[in-house]
Chain A
Amino acid sequence: MKANIIMNPHPMTLRPTDTVATAADRILKHHLRHLPVVDEQGRYLGTFSVYSLLKLTLPKAVLDKHGLDNVSFVTESVEDLAQRLGRRRDEPVKNWLNIHEVARPDTHAMEVMLLMLHGRTTSVPVVNKTNNRLEGIISFWDVLEKLLGENS
């Protein structure tokens, strides 16, 4: 079984100019963890995820590669954190994309599962090799359904 059979061919997507607020709203409303971002031609640019939201909420000093690895001394309340995120709600999502490893429509199922494991992600975008268009997205749930469905 290949990626194009497992994938959801009509995933919810974002445009690079969409705001953080729009993205957060969709993530919360639809309980999605990953939203692929595509340009006007449908080309895959990256993924805006719940981790992007975490990064937007955390101070830069924590995100730096040599940054703080312990912030237990910071006693900010949830309201403080909400304010932090609130200040960034109008930024475009394009600055906060994760570039995940992608699958091709003809990638085999086992390779897709390995991409999930290595990338510590629960969804893999399926991207056309020649024109870089997003063909669909495979979530862990799609894979699990196929696995259990075929066993039963």
Chain B
Amino acid sequence: MHGSSEAASAVLFGLNPMWVAAILFALTYVVVMTEKINRAIVSLLAAGLMIVLGILNQEAAIRGIDFNTIGLLIGMMLIVAITRQSGVFQFLAIWAAKKVDARPWGILVMISLVTAVTSALLDNVTTVLLVAPVTLLITEELRINPYPYLFAMIFSSNIGGTATLIGDPPNIMIGSATGLTFNDFAYNLAPVVFVIMAATLAPIYFIWGRHLRATPEDRQRVMQFNEHEAITDRRLLKQCLLVIGLVIAGFVFARFLGLEAATVAMTGAALLLLLANFGHDAEHQSKHVLDAFNEVEWITIFFFVGLFIVVHGVDGTGLLKLLADKMLALTGGDLSATAMVILWSSAILSAIIDNIPFVATMIPLIKAMAPSFGGPEGLMPLWWSLSLGACLGGNGTLIGASANLVVAGFAERAGQPIRFVQYTLMAFPIMLMSIAISMVYLYWRYL
């Protein structure tokens, strides 16, 4: 724990720093939730106030920023920004639809799998931004309701993202804070993710899937799609696949190579920028590099930066240690009970609030429990509980994850709006089912 040595010399007006930090922290949460003010503004302002009010000094604030998370996010966003131009995602979706002879239920399963796999390797929002338009085109050709497809897409993006270190921001943060690697995440989470994906498709089949019908003529039109034409730039595609392959290999061998995830992602991004711009004149390079940088979601990045400082400030006052002790007292210091509390509370809270600030808060809180469970090694089941709860909980409501809102936007504009209540009535129980499966898995494997 970071002691009072990191705090600035004097807290303003002689107020109790723990209370000031707690109030600032709570206000940040509330204002972010209301969505009246852009979340990057809120978190940066709160971070600034933390320093101005003397909860921590600038040096401590900078130390609080997890640059491994920031670097990994920016690196992957740059790689995706360039790769998406190649048309490879449209190719994948069309190829998958044709593999099942354009049968409506087969397409739903295939699109879900493509979404899940892509979300496991890339950011969820980007994945649905790329897969949703092709899906809408296919359902329009088949003259069937796109709703079940978009519903399944939301679930698959959040479920697939749970499987890997880079799939979802909570995992990136957990991995970065604990040193858990890409392989650790894949080895510990991917097995249960497969089960949850299959289990999620079952209710979707019974509610919608078995009623989906398309005429042979309409299916024929989809079968005549030429997916190879979707690839707009073959040279770029090869470069992207090469770099993505290298980056994933880098993640897999990160521990062996002694590299952190951010180094792998940022170096990969730099290499791809080099390849894609090689041989072009200076003006062309400037434009393309700037275009790629503009695709980075700076709002998310600065939201993280501010949030890390706020949480670090709160952590430094000992408030999170206090909360951790309270939670341990509640569970009697029992590992299983603690894991279950973390799993279920993260799931339900992540369905309602943004899981990024929640996980940012939970990380130091769980770390503070290490002495009770025999050191950092003993915390492993708790990290998996947090990841499963926070990532899968996002499926519970339409506001549970940003990808949900992006899909809802497409649905709305396509004239098939996904209503909040209607979605929650279906999605919340399916989300609870996925958490129940996670619970069985955690008990079976770790507790």
Chain A interface residues (CB < 8 Å from chain B)? 59-62, 64-68, 70-76, 80
Q: Which of B141, B228, B232, B409 contacts A59 (CB 8 A)?
A: B141
Q: Is the CB of A68 within 8 A of B137?
A: yes
Q: Is the CB of B90 within 8 A of A66?
A: no
Query: Which B residues are CB-close (under 8 A) to A65?
Result: 413
* Cβ of B94 under 8 Å from chain A: yes
Give 1 or 0 for each of B225-237: 1 = CB within 8 Å of chain A CB: 1111110100000
Q: A72-B230, A73-B227, A75-B225 are in contact. Are A60 and B136 (CB under 8 A)?
A: yes
Least CB separation from B129: chain A residue: A66
Give 1 or 0 for each of B133-159: 1 = CB within 8 Å of chain A CB: 111110011000000000000000000
Which of B137, B232, B413: most chain A Cβ within 10 A? B137
Query: Which B residues are CB-close (under 8 A) to A64?
Result: 133, 136, 410, 413-414
Q: Is the CB of A60 within 8 A of B229?
A: no
Beyond A60-B413, A74-B137, A76-B224, list 13 extra A-B contacts (CB 8 Å). Answer: A59-B141, A60-B136, A60-B140, A60-B414, A61-B137, A64-B136, A68-B134, A70-B90, A73-B227, A73-B228, A73-B229, A74-B225, A75-B225
Least CB separation from A64: chain B residue: B413
| Min distance, Cβ B87 to any Cβ of chain A, angstroms | 6
Query: Which B residues are CB-close (under 8 A) to A72?
Result: 226, 229-230
| Min distance, Cβ A14 to any Cβ of chain B, angstroms | 23
Q: Is the CB of B129 within 8 A of A73?
A: no
* Cβ of B415 under 8 Å from chain A: yes
Q: Which of A60, A61, A73 contacts B230 (CB 8 A)?
A: A73
| Min distance, Cβ A91 to any Cβ of chain B, angstroms | 12
* Cβ of B419 under 8 Å from chain A: no
Which of A65, A74, A75: most chain B Cβ within 10 A? A74
| Min distance, Cβ B231 to any Cβ of chain A, angstroms | 9
Cα-based distance from A72 to B227 in the complex (angstroms): 9
* Cβ of B284 under 8 Å from chain A: no
* Cβ of B213 under 8 Å from chain A: no
A-B contact pairs, 7 of them (CB 8 A): A59-B140, A60-B413, A66-B132, A66-B409, A68-B133, A72-B229, A73-B228
Query: Which A residues are CB-close (under 8 A) to B90?
Result: 68, 70, 73
Cα-based distance from A56 to B284 in the complex (angstroms): 36
Query: Which A residues are CB-close (under 8 A) to B135?
Result: 61
Q: Which of B94, B129, B140, B232 contacts A61 (CB 8 A)?
A: B140
Cα-based distance from A66 to B128 in the complex (angstroms): 11
Q: Is the CB of A73 within 8 A of B141?
A: no
Least CB separation from A74: chain B residue: B225
Query: Which A residues are CB-close (under 8 A) to B87?
Result: 70
Q: Which of A61, A70, A73 contacts B414 (CB 8 A)?
A: A61
Interface residues of B in 98-156 (CB under 8 A from A): 129, 132-137, 140-141
| Min distance, Cβ B368 to any Cβ of chain A, angstroms | 42
* Cβ of B63 under 8 Å from chain A: no
Query: Which B residues are CB-close (under 8 A) to A75?
Result: 224-226
Query: Which B residues are CB-close (under 8 A) to A74?
Result: 137, 225
Cα-based distance from A143 to B409 in the complex (angstroms): 42
Cα-based distance from A64 to B141 in the complex (angstroms): 16
Cα-based distance from A68 to B227 in the complex (angstroms): 14
Q: Is the CB of B137 within 8 A of A62?
A: yes
Q: Which of B136, B221, B227, B232 contacts A76 (CB 8 A)?
A: B221
Query: Which A residues are CB-close (under 8 A) to B140?
Result: 59-61
Cα-based distance from A72 to B90 in the complex (angstroms): 11
Cα-based distance from A60 to B416 in the complex (angstroms): 11
Least CB separation from B137: chain A residue: A61
